Amino acid sequence: MKPKEEKASKRRLRTSYITTVVSITLVLFILGLMGLLVLNAKKLSDYVRENIGFSIILKDEVKEPDVLRLQKIIESKDFVKATAHISKAQAAQELQADLGEDFIDFIGYNPLPVSIEVKLVAEYANNDSIRGIERNLGEFHQIKEVWYQKSLVHLMNENIRKISLILLGFSALLLLISIVLINNTIRLSVYSKRFLINTMRLVGATRFFIRGPFLRLSMVHGFISGIFANALMFTVIYFIGNEFPEITFFNDLRVIVLLTAGIVLIGISISTLSTLFAVNKYLRISTDKLYF
């Protein structure tokens, strides 16, 4: 009977360890994903802002060399991220693709103007800055009009601010939930060994001696969970890199090193502190209360 009981006990112990590691790993993984978003929040907002700009509509009499010269001048401005010259033929081709029919055959000529598409540096992607840029561009006589969607620019900036606040609040809430979940997992694990703790205390073992093995094991569990969580996170980063190659800031080495080290440290810290509090509870509790 004894060998069977020992095997069953070892199996339950392994199951308990695996459950603890898996639970902490999943919590740290979710926390890591949120940390990835928070650390890249500024770059994400800049990426969105820099994909919104305005169109410079040029007068019909402006020649091609003058258009290219004007594009170079505008491209040298501090507020410009990138520019693109859209000829009449290219504008007609894009509109035909959107409409699904050849409108030039219908009306008999191409009414679309030559334009320069401007993508702004993120800090200038707001209505106030664009109005100032519009005034500055008034010195070029070749320009007929500066066109942009005022409501879209305003809505984009408002949404980015709201999303940033929600993200920070959600991150704080997720961190709190993560601490509670890991703490409960550790407490359940220590609870199953409460009689062992009490027995060691009764035979005269010091608190330091009793806590030692539990704390060392919890540190190992926290470290292993952090490694597994980072492996899952690297899988997500790899997937994002393959599916969205234009989003390069998730591959920022400094951010990744900071985040992976942080996940491991959080795993070790929360696991160790939770174990310390749980063990201390059963070191103080009377023998009678162990059964409740």
At 148, the amino acid letter reads: Y
| Measured CA angle at 277 (ends 274, 282), to 5 deg | 125
Task: Note the pLDDT of residue 231.
Answer: 93
Q: pLDDT digits over 68-127, tens only?
A: 888 898 888 888 888 988 888 888 787 777 777 776 777 777 778 888 888 888 888 888
Residue 230 pLDDT grade (very low, low, confident, very high; cuts 50, 70, 90) = very high
Can you spell out the DSSP letters for 20-76? HHHHHHHHHHHHHHHHHHHHTHHHHHHHHHTT-EEEEEEPTT--HHHHHHHHHHHHT
More confident residue, 189 or 223: 223
User: Does the predicted model carry a pTM greater than 0.75?
Assistant: no
Q: pLDDT digits over 243-278, tens only?
A: 777 666 666 778 888 888 999 998 899 888 888 888
- Residue holding tokens 């919890």? 218
Note whether 23 and 181 are within 8 A (CB): yes
Note whether 152 and 114 are within 8 A (CB): no
Q: How many residues does the chain have?
A: 292
For 56, list phi and psi in degrees, rounded to 5. Answer: -100, 110
Contacts of 224 (CB under 8 A, 6+ apart): 21, 25
- Residue holding tokens 């066109």? 147
What six digits make up the tokens of 7? Answer: 């095997």
What distance lies between CA 79 and its chain's CA centroid?
A: 27
Domain edges within the chain: 2-45+157-291, 53-124
Of the candidate ranges 79-88, 136-145, 180-189, the one whose mean pLDDT is the lowest: 180-189
Q: What is the largest CA-CA distance in the chain?
A: 102
Q: Which helix (H) or strand (E) holds 110?
A: none
For 33, list phi and psi in degrees, rounded to 5. Answer: -60, -40
Q: How far is CA 232 from CA 23, 25, 27, 39, 244, in A?
A: 14, 9, 12, 18, 18
Q: What's the rounded Cα separation, in Å, for the pair 41 and 165?
A: 11
Note whether 182 and 23 are within 8 A (CB): yes
**CATH class belonging to 53-124:** alpha beta
